[in-house]
Every structure is written in C-alpha cells, then in structure tokens.
C-alpha cells in the first residue's frame, strides 16, 4: 500500500489491486468481443473490433448493434451491478455469506416478477418493473424489521434470511398455482438469462449504475471501510454510522433490483465475485472496484461458455455463473491454503 | 456477554457441590421447558395420524394404532404412520445437524443447505438419474447419501482440514454449494427426462414415505445422534475459541472432524429420504438458542424435539390448508415458520447471542 499525494489530496494506491482490476477489465472486454463474434453468424474478433469502431460492413453493423451488443452490454452491466452490491452487502454485515442471494433481496425481485407473470400475465416491461418493486419492498421490509434503535449487522442477516425463506415459500406457492405456460415463463426468468436482451434491458440498468456508482464509490466507500472495523471504531472515526449504512443499503438493494430486472436473478455472482476479488487483490477492505470488475468478467465469461460449451444447446448464463465462480473460489481457497495464505 | 460465559459456568456447576441457586432454578426451568416441548411433539404426532383426506379423531387414531380390527387401522398404520415417523426422524436429524453446523462454523447462517450438503445430495441424485439411468427410489437414496458425504469431506478439506477456521468452512461450503446447484440446473436443462424425475425428489416432501425408508433412516439417525451428543461438551469449549478449547481439554481437530461426520450422517440420511428440506436446520437452532442460551447440552435436546414439531406440524397444516389436495411441507415450513423466526429475531436479543 502506498499513498499518492497531490497538494491537499491523497489517495491510497494498492498496486496489486490496480493490476487485478486492469486484468479483469481486459478479460471482460476480451470475452465481450468473442461473445459479440459468436452465434449463428460468426465473426472474427478483428471484424468485431472493426465493426465496433464504425468501419464495418452494414450487415455486420446491424447484427452487432441491434442483436449482439445489447446482450453483451447487459451482461457487463448486470455483472458489475451484482459484484458491487455483493461487495457492499458482505462488508455491511461483515459476513462472507451476506449476499443479496441469501438476504432475500433477490427473492423479493423474483416474487415481484412471478406475481406479475402469474397474477397479471404482464409484458416483459411490467415484469422488470415488478422485479424492481419487489426488491425495493423487500428492502424496506427487511430494514424496518431489523431496525431496533440501530441496525445490528447480525440482526440484519437473520431478518434477511427469514424473509428470504418466506419469499421462497411464496414463490413456490405462486408457481404451483400458475398454469403450465406461465410457470414455464416464470421458471425461465428465474434461471437468469441474457437470451434476447435488447437495449431496453440495458438502458435502465445503465442509468441506475450512473446514478448509484458515484454515491457508493465516492460518497460511502470511506465510511464502509470504517464500518468493517466495527460500529464503535467507525463512530470514533467520525463516520455517521446509521446514515452511511442506510444509504449503502438503499444503493445495494437498488443495484440488485435493476440487475434482476434486466436479466433475471443471475445466481451466485454477488456471492462469489467479491470473495474472488478479495482473494486476488489480497487487499484489506471491501474491494469495491475489483468486485465490480470481477462481476462483469464473470457474467460475460459465463455467457460465452454457456453458449459454446454444450454444442447446439445454449444454456442460460445464470446456470454457468455458479459453476464458474464457485469452482474458481474452491480452487483459490485450496491453493491459497497450500501457499499458507488465508 | 453473560450468554457467552454461560456454558463455562454450567460446565463448572456440574462438578462443584456448592451450586449457585440461580443456576439451579434455571436448569429446572430448562428441564420443564423440555417436558413441555415433548408434550407438544406428542400432540403434533397425534394430529399427524388423525388429520388428512379422511379426518379421524385422536381417539380413533389411537385405536387404529393398537387394535387391528379398528376401522382406521389401515389408514393409520399404512399411510399416516410412515409419513409422520419420516417427518419425525427427518426433523430430528435436520434440527440436530443445523445446531451442530452453527456451533462448528460459529456462523448464524450455517445450515445444511448453505454448506452445500443438500446440493451435494442433489447433484449425486441428478447424475445417477441422467447418466446411470437410476429410477427407483431405493437406488437413488444411496446416491444422495454418497453425494452428501463426498461434499462434506470436500468442504472440510478445502476449508482447511484440522486447521479449519469458521469463516473458511462457511466460505468453502458456499462456494461448493454454488457450483453444485448450477451443475444440477445445467443437467436438468440439458436432459429433460432427468428434470421430470428429479421434480418428485426436489420438492422436499413426506408424501412418498414407506416403512422401509423409515427403518433405514432411523439407523443412520441413531448413529449421528450418538456422535452429536458426544460432541456437545467439546463444541461448547470451542465456542470460546480454539486456544481456550485446548486449555479446557478439548481437541479442536478431532472435534471438527467428528462434528462434520455427525452432520453428514444426519443430513445425508434426511435429505436422501425426503429431498432437500431447507430452513428447519437453520431456524430451529436460533429459536432454541433464544430459549435456552448457547449451552449445547441443552440446545441439542431442544432442537431434537422442536425441529420435528415444526416439520410434522407443517406437514399436518399443509394437509388441512389445501384440502382436498396438499401443500408441500417445504412451502408450509417457510411461510409459517418464517414469521415466527422474524418475531424471535426482533423480540429476543438473539442476534447478539
């Protein structure tokens, strides 16, 4: 860790984190180029880059801009949003298992979307709206239930787990009450897929990220770092603990909600990306930016693998994210133990 | 802070002749509570025998159980008895396993589901169905067991073996869980025939119970319980940290190994018999801790009694609420158990315990 100073400003620079972040961005962009080039109408990476820089054949431009680019951009954004929200949650509750997948926010989004499908037979725009509303309501509910003159990290986790369990039951019940076509649609959405994503999926998420990223990274990152040392330490460092926690919670829930609205609840990205990032950078603290890059890389790589690995039968990205992230994390844990690092 | 100290205090009480009077009355209260819980369990089991598509009174159910010529004899012994016993055994096993898991990992989120044991069983079952063509229930029970065992050994190994820390165990379990669930989903999506058969197993239901399963399950649960009870004391010491545990005469490495073995046997057997039932193993230990405090010598028996109350009770309610059909026990457990859980999280200082 070294400090870069310029007049009255100073920034902590962690060279290894920078290198890891840069590599992850390169990995995500490289996979994106491959992903744009793959499909029923294959293109070489060189042609893809040409087309993206505006020098391609009109047919290529159409396919890239209208069909494949929105899908890849959605994947990158979803991964980034999930990685960041996972890192924020895990730091907030100081528990490596405390991701939105487990604290009920993903379940809330699912419940909203399934209700729209089953009860109203709504369109895909209504479905996305339902997911956002479901996650937001779950966020409010969890916050109110966990509030008791303050927001104790462990109580937040327990309340979240309880709400998640109830919502799992509700979702199961809704699915058994749906007719077979609606149930099929709901199950497909629940798997989390980038299939058929258009600009309509990417743009709302992009706007949400533009709004929330500065709040989290510039406004609260310092407070979050202090919170990781415990509430008392944070208070004594002058951090307004409850306010920072509320703002971060709102941001992280909204990130999860918009990510789920764009592509369905893609599993385990929010859980594994921050842990992977933390293990690669070996830096203390929440590692927000590396987690964000890791999430984006994870989703795009998963989509690439899902489309190619099983011949003519493409799988949804949400099926592969877990295998990719989980297996990689197991491998990291095992090798780091052998190397004597935790 | 007092709650953390209590296992030590009671440990000392057992040997010293001059017990402080407060500990006396507290233990008496706990024993009374346990008796009340047992009475509740008896009531729920009675309801499990009496309630169903053809409701009978508790008296008739008892007569059907004891008298071969009673009109309710075949309903009670052939249909409701195995189902209720399966719920009883599975709840017992899951409650104990959840309690051990949370004590071992010192993580309130640890349960057989989150630590990948259910996912391991599911992965083995779906592989057996898709690649080996196993269809019979008796065939894939063994695969479920094998899967659970392999995954818990893996979690233990990746988590650091004898030097495992709670955080690393939890993390290793979660990572394996993520990978395995995705694998199960992938196989199901690629092989629709496997998906169709798998559906009957993954719902987590007691409906397909028969006496053979119950007998087989009870052998495993018995073995697991024995290990669990032997581990109560060393795990109590481990709650104070490994150095203190060593100083108190417990061996952390052996304790971890045996606890994992007990959890595997208990969860593997329950999951194999009724499919992945989540939440029981997570919720019951939290409720119990708010009643008894963190002493495992009280927590384990309480969990063993209250978890089956929850599971069998949810099964009975599922039969009542959705008459003439029934709701799966997993759904009822979550929807009814969840609010109770939330109530306790808010009321008691459970989160800090």
Q: List the Cα angle B228/B157/B236 in 5-degree steps.
A: 30
d(CA B322, CA B151): 36
The pLDDT of residue A238 is: 86
- pLDDT per position as a tens digit, B40-51: 998 988 888 877
Name which residue leads in pLDDT, B205 or A229.
A229
Helix or strand run (H / E) with residue A6:
strand A2-6
Judged by average pLDDT, the poorest of A58-67, A104-113, B202-211 is: B202-211
Judge whether A174 and A114 are in contact, CB under 8 Å.
yes
- pLDDT per position as a tens digit, A131-153: 999 999 999 999 998 887 777 77
Q: List the Cα angle A109/A113/A119 in 5-degree steps.
A: 140
Q: Which residue out of B167, B315, B334 would a mutagenesis test of the A interface target, given it has the greatest number of A Cβ atoms within 10 Å?
A: B334
Q: Domain locations in chain A?
A: 95-265, 268-342
Q: Is B109 close to A97, i.e. CB distance below 8 A? A: yes
Judged by average pLDDT, the poorest of A297-306, B12-21, B89-98 is: B12-21
The pLDDT of residue A290 is: 93
The H helix count followed by the E strand count for chain B is: 15, 0
Please classify residue A176 by burial: count the beta carbons closer than 10 Å to its beta carbon, then call 0-12 exposed, 13-18 middle and 19+ buried.
Answer: middle
The pLDDT of residue B10 is: 43
Question: Using H for helix, E for strand and C for coil, what is the string for B185-215?
Answer: HHHHHHCHHHHHHHHHHHCCCCCCCCHHHHH
Cis? peptide before A141, omega within 30° of 0: no
Kindly report the nearest CA distance between residue A251 and chain B, in angstroms.
23
Question: What ipTM was assigned to the predicted interfaces of this complex?
Answer: 0.73
d(CA A137, CA A283): 34
Judge whether B130 and A118 are in contact, CB under 8 Å.
no
Judged by average pLDDT, the poorest of A92-106, A275-289, B108-122, B284-298 is: B108-122
Q: Is B109 close to A102, i.e. CB distance below 8 A? A: yes
- pLDDT per position as a tens digit, A81-135: 999 999 999 888 887 777 888 788 998 999 999 899 888 877 778 888 999 999 9
Going along chain B from its start, the domains and CATH numbers come out as 2-8+35-48+56-347 (1.10.3470.10)
Question: Using H for helix, E for strand and C for coil, what is the string for B288-299?
Answer: HHHHHCCCHHHH
Q: Which residue of B has its CA nearest to A163?
A: B338
CA A17 to each of CA A214, A220, A279, B204: distance values in angstroms, whole numbers, following the listed order = 19, 19, 10, 44
d(CA B153, CA B169): 11
The pLDDT of residue A297 is: 94
d(CA B132, CA B111): 30
Computed over every residue of chain B, the mean pLDDT equals: 77
- Start-to-end C-alpha separation, chain B: 8
Mean pLDDT of all residues in B264-289:
81
Nearest CB neighbour to B335, from listed A169, A275, A322: A169
Nearest CB neighbour to B338, from listed A166, A191, A310: A166
Q: Give the pLDDT band of residue B4 (cuts 50, 70, 90).
A: very low
Q: List the Cα angle A166/A171/A174 in 5-degree steps.
A: 125
Q: Is A96 close to B335, i.e. CB distance below 8 A? A: no
d(CA B194, CA B127): 9
- Residues in B touching A146 (Cβ below 8 Å): 345
Name which residue leads in pLDDT, A5 or A90.
A90
d(CA B81, CA B46): 10
- Residues in B touching A272 (Cβ below 8 Å): 175, 178
Kindly report the nearest CA distance between residue B158 and chain A, in angstroms.
5
Domain at A95-265: CATH code: 1.10.3470.10
């Amino acid at each position: 860790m070294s400090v870069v100073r310029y007049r009255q400003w100073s920034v902590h620079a962690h060279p290894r984190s920078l290198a890891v972040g840069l590599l992850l961005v390169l990995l995500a962009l490289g996979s994106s180029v491959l992903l744009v080039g793959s499909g029923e109408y294959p293109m070489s990476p060189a042609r893809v880059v040409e087309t993206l820089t505006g020098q391609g054949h009109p047919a290529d431009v159409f396919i890239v801009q209208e069909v494949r680019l929105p899908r890849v951009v959605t994947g990158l954004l979803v991964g980034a949003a999930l990685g960041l929200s996972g890192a924020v949650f895990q730091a907030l509750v100081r528990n490596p298992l405390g991701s939105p997948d487990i604290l009920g926010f993903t379940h809330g989004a699912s419940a909203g979307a399934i209700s729209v499908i089953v009860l109203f037979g709504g369109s895909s725009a209504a479905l996305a709206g339902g997911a956002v509303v479901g996650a937001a309501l779950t966020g409010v509910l969890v916050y109110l239930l966990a509030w008791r003159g303050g927001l104790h990290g462990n109580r937040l986790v327990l309340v979240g787990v309880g709400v998640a369990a109830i919502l799992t039951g509700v979702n199961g019940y809704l699915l058994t009450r749906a007719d077979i076509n609606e149930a099929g649609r709901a199950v497909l959405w629940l798997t989390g897929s980038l299939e058929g994503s258009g600009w309509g999926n990417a743009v709302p998420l992009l706007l949400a990220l533009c709004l929330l990223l500065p709040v989290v990274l510039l406004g609260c990152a310092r407070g979050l770092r202090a919170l990781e040392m415990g509430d008392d330490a944070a208070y004594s460092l002058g951090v307004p603990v409850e306010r920072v926690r509320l703002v971060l919670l709102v941001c992280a829930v909204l990130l999860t909600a918009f990510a789920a609205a764009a592509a369905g609840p893609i599993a385990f990205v929010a859980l594994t990306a921050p842990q992977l990032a933390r293990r690669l950078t070996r830096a203390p603290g929440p590692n927000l930016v590396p987690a964000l890059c890791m999430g984006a890389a994870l989703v795009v790589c998963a989509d690439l693998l899902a489309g190619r690995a099983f011949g003519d039968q493409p799988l949804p990205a949400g099926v592969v994210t877990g295998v990719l992230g989980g297996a990689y994390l197991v491998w990291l844990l095992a090798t780091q133990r052998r190397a004597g690092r935790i | 802070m007092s709650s953390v100290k209590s296992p030590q205090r009671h440990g000392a009480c057992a040997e010293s002749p001059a017990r402080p009077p407060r500990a006396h009355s507290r233990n008496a209260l706990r024993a009374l509570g346990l008796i009340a819980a047992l009475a509740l369990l008896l009531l729920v089991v009675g309801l499990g025998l009496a309630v169903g598509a053809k409701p009978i009174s508790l008296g008739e159910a008892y007569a059907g159980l004891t008298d071969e010529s009673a009109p309710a004899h075949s309903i009670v012994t052939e249909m409701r008895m195995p189902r209720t016993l399966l719920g009883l055994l599975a709840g017992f096993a899951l409650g104990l396993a959840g309690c051990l898991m949370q004590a071992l990992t010192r993580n309130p989120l640890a349960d057989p589901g989150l630590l990948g044991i259910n996912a391991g069983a599911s992965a083995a079952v779906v592989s057996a169905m898709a690649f080996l063509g196993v269809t019979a229930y008796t065939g894939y029970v063994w695969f479920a067991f094998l899967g659970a065992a392999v995954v818990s050994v893996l979690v233990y190994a990746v988590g650091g073996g004898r030097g495992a820390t709670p955080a690393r165990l939890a993390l290793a379990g979660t990572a394996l869980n993520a990978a395995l669930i995705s694998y199960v989903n992938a196989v199901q999506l690629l092989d629709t025939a496997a998906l169709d058969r798998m559906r009957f197993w993954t719902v987590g239901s007691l409906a397909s119970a028969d006496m053979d399963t119950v007998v087989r399950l009870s052998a495993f649960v018995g073995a697991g319980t024995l290990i669990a009870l032997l581990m109560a004391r060393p795990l109590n010491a481990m709650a104070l940290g490994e150095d203190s545990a060593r100083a108190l005469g417990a061996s952390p490495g052996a304790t971890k190994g045996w606890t994992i073995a007990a959890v595997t046997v208990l969860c593997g057997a329950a999951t194999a018999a009724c499919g992945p039932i989540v939440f029981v193993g997570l919720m019951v230990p939290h409720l119990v801790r708010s009643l008894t405090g963190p002493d495992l010598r009280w927590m384990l028996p309480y969990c063993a009694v209250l978890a089956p109350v929850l599971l069998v009770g949810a099964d009975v309610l599922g039969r009542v609420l959705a008459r003439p059909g029934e709701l799966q026990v997993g759904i009822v457990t979550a929807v009814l158990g969840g609010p109770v859980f939330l109530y306790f999280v808010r009321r008691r200082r459970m989160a800090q315990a």
